[in-house]
Amino acid sequence: MKIHVINPNTTQSMTASIASTARSAARSGTEIVASNPSDGPASIQGDLDIAACMPGLLIEANRYPDADAIIIACFDDPGLDVLRTMRDVPVIGIGEAAYHAASLISAKFSVVTTLTRSVPGLEANIARYGLSARCASVRASNIPVLELEDPNSGADIEIARQIGQAINEDHADSIILGCAGMTELKTRMEEQFGLPVIDGIVCAVAFAEALVAAKLSTSKAGPYAGTSSD
């Protein structure tokens, strides 16, 4: 099967990191193709960036028409409903995938994300997915997305501090890394804290593979039926 992983921002180095994680998680025989728009925000941090990324995201959604599934590799899950309307294949957002995975393996999860302005959107998504009762907290590290790629930024130290507080103060028993740019921290944080640390890219690949293997596609009987001209 072929899975198209879309990074909705324009930072190619982040796309490469996302693709590497996706390929490491994929089963033998699964082809991962990854892309990002040529125009749009360099990172997605709040509502304005979400709106700005949409034109490029919609173009990328049709780049590989033979893809068996699509993954939106941004934790805000931008354009999730729109892409499900555009395409018949399963479309998975890494935020939604991470939340559902956490709810299957823990009683309470906390999310550690980037900037404070991203928190309300993530909380709204968790509520929309019906998982607010399982969420202990959404914490901001106040590390901009692009600083996650800088080994000298100290991002890992602040993210670890927020994880520790989520465990000790919010009583979370699993942690979700709330940004695609945090993917390389999963193993280190899991070893440091001794509980599940969930990466949305890995979860989205697993869910996409499972849906394709089960021969399930996006329903067109309801809101994902398409436009009135279809």
Shared domain for 57 and 115, answered yes or no, is no
| 225 within domain boundaries | no
Residues 86 and 159 in one domain: no
Instruction: State whether 111 and 81 are in the same domain.
Output: no
By the 8 A CB rule, do 97 and 116 touch?
no
* Residue 229 within a domain: no
Residues 69 and 153 in one domain: no
pLDDT of residue 147: 83
pLDDT in tens, 20-56: 999 999 999 999 999 999 999 999 988 999 999 999 9
Co-location of 190 and 207 in the same domain: no
Looking at the structure, tell me whether residues 72 and 100 fall in a common domain.
no
Q: State pTM to two decimals.
A: 0.93
> Quick one: 180 and 121 in the same domain?
yes
19, 64: one domain: yes
Looking at the domain assignment, is residue 26 inside a domain? yes
| 27 found inside a domain | yes
Domain count for the chain: 2
Check which CATH number belongs to the domain holding 103 and give it: 3.40.50.12500
Domain of residue 115 covers: 95-200
The answer to whether residues 108 and 37 belong to one domain is: no
66 and 153, same structural domain?
Answer: no
Q: Is 192 inside a domain boundary?
A: yes
What pLDDT score was predicted for residue 227? 61
Residue 223 lies inside a defined structural domain of this protein: no
Do residue 102 and residue 196 come from a single domain?
yes
135 domain-assigned:
yes
Q: Is 141 in the same domain as 174? A: yes
Residue 220 lies inside a defined structural domain of this protein: no
Identify the pLDDT of residue 230: 46
Question: pLDDT per residue over 56-112, tens digit each?
Answer: 999 999 999 999 999 999 999 999 999 999 999 999 999 999 999 999 999 999 999
